[in-house]
Amino acid sequence: MQEIFDDIRSDFRYDHELNGCLNCGICTATCPSAQFYDYSPREIVQLLWTENVEQIYDAMQEKIWACAQCMTCAARCPFKNSPGGLVAIMREVAIKHGMQSAKDVLRPFGRVMLKLITTGNQLSPDMIQPDHFPDWGPNIQKVEGDLKTLRKAIPLKTLQTTETAWEVSLKTSIEMYTIWEMTGVLKSLETMDENLFDVIEDFIDEKKEEYEEWLEEQN
């Protein structure tokens, strides 16, 4: 737990986001997430300000993931604290340490990453099939009957299916992978979901070979 807190505190943004606390509660009073979840930006600030390592660790199990990152708290705090900014640091540290809470919250986004790198689309309406998204919970079942309506609601026909959506060139796929690699996204992915990381690595290796062959043909 101490190592996790040390990582939070050593982040270069930490001293800028945490300047003190009057315990006035204006951040929590104006927080949209606090109205619906067991989450209080004031509590986050207080825990960090008092360096309550054990309860900081507890908050990272669930509470920090309720923040919508709207930054209303930062705009209201008379001390110019940014609870939302502190939560962002805590989330990044949770990912770095492979905490189960981070894995649970980010699991559905793994599918988005896979679709993005393999098809160039995050999601098109024809991908929305209830059986394909068990981890999205029971509400996804409600989508089944509205698929045609949803597709018609999208103004451009080219975005309605994977077949008619835009095609992503080899060069773009390689560039996207390079950005993920250089910004540390892939390293985080390896910590969060090693299987998905391996799948993407295998896929991009094939793409790189295809791209190199294409470059040779152009010469």
| Model pLDDT for residues 57-90, shown as the tens digit of each residue | 999 998 999 898 999 999 999 989 999 999 999 9
Are residues 57 and 19 both part of a single domain? yes
Residue 213 is predicted with a pLDDT of 85
Alpha-carbon distance of 81 to 74, in angstroms, equals 6
Are residues 141 and 83 both part of a single domain? no
Are residues 23 and 87 both part of a single domain? yes
Are residues 13 and 78 both part of a single domain? yes
Are residues 128 and 192 both part of a single domain? yes
Are residues 50 and 127 both part of a single domain? no
**Residue that has been written with the tokens 């599918």 in this structure:** 111
Are residues 119 and 142 both part of a single domain? yes
- CA 73, distance to chain mean position in Å, is 20
Radius of gyration of the chain (CA): 21
- Predicted model pTM: 0.73
Contact 116, 165 (CB under 8 A): no
Contacts for 98 with CB less than 8 Å, ≥ 6 apart: 191, 192
Are residues 142 and 91 both part of a single domain? no
Structural domain boundaries enclosing 5: 1-98
Are residues 117 and 92 both part of a single domain? no
Contacts for 12 with CB less than 8 Å, ≥ 6 apart: none
Could you give the C-alpha distances from 51 to 38, 42, 56, in angstroms and in order?
A: 21, 14, 8
Residue 19 is predicted with a pLDDT of 92
Average pLDDT rounded to a whole number, residues 99-109: 84
Are residues 129 and 80 both part of a single domain? no
Average pLDDT rounded to a whole number, residues 35-56: 92
Are residues 208 and 165 both part of a single domain? yes
Number of CB atoms found within 10 A of residue 10's CB: 10
